[in-house]
Structure 1
Amino acid sequence: MVMAIRMALAAVFALVATIAVAQQDYRIRSGDVLSVEVLEDSGLNRSVTVLPDGRISFPLAGTLTAGGRTIGQVQASIAEAIGSNFTSPPNVFVGVQPREPDPIDPNALLGPTIDIYMLGEVTAPGLKQVTPGTTFLQALSQAGGLSRFAAQKRIQLRRTDPQTRRQQVVVINYKAITNGALLTPDFALQEGDVILVPERRLFE
């Protein structure tokens, strides 16, 4: 019995070690959700979404590049950026939360999907089939991000109630998000949602 327990624990530890190595080698992508923990200040612990341009925002650190980097590199960047706020170098731990299959992958379409629409100044506008639970920022990433003509402060999320047909419009300031503001919540999209990105005005 004791031997069986030891063998089971050894298998668990081996699996954890394998996952840890895989995460350390993983290159972070836009749309990933990172879990960030600061040992010295639990008030900083949070989940952050990698924006379409590959950046993340973190308190005391501002905006940092995460896309294309490893977890270790992002940990080091955050620790360095917030280091001046601590008497000794802070211990920062970053993990990548499990990700739904990429909707661009044909295999992903075998599971349940919802239809959303990306209109206006995005790189790849049109109908998008995404997995349920996909958030606004993740969908924006899947559309290739914003074009250089986008009015970043006036993005609209338009949602129509299927029963009353009344439409709700939420205005999202993407520029503020890239400067460190939190999108609370990062909206989980629903069937038929429309994300409209207007063209910016002359002096906007």
Structure 2
Amino acid sequence: MKSLIGLLIAGALVMGSGTQVSAQATNEESSNYKLTANDLLDFRVFQEPELDAVVRISGDGTATFPLVGNVTIGGKTISEAIDILKSRYKDGYLVSPQVNLTVRAYAKQRFTVLGQVQKPGAYEMQGTESVSLLQAIGLAGGYTRIADPANITVKRRESDGKERVIRFNAKRMARGGDDASFMLKAGDVVTVGESLF
């Protein structure tokens, strides 16, 4: 009986530590998340309830905050945005502002899967959610009979505005190749080629 209780306690400890790791990974992902157009944010300043607001980031990356007006926070992490806001509020408004900013609703971001898949079209991912290339093909219903998994391209618009085309062999990826964990970004266009025979 004692050994059974010991096993149960050990199992609970292992499960508990696993939960902490996944929670930590989620926090790490959200702390690296870059704010984007259409994100809806909760804004608070400690002991300044009249400044509380719900704001949306506009297409140009700005959001309008009480007293300070438009502030560019698009492309910044939450902690970077908080630093910018603290600086703006210190500049003539508050002595030592304690700013809190959280994402209430992430903007919907899309990627597109075209070519030889069962359900071509646009698919959504939100916030810190990430989708691998192989998962995207799965979401699109998998390959058609005439698909060529060794001939897949991803078109991606880089931050400098240039379009980049990346080629993949999904057969090799499925076997655990180097690029097996390639993650898609919003705006990516995946095209699955057609087999020639």
- After TM superposition, the score normalised by the length of structure 2 is 0.44
- After TM superposition, the score normalised by the length of structure 1 is 0.43
Which one has the largest radius of gyration?
Answer: 2
Which has more strand, going by share of residues?
2
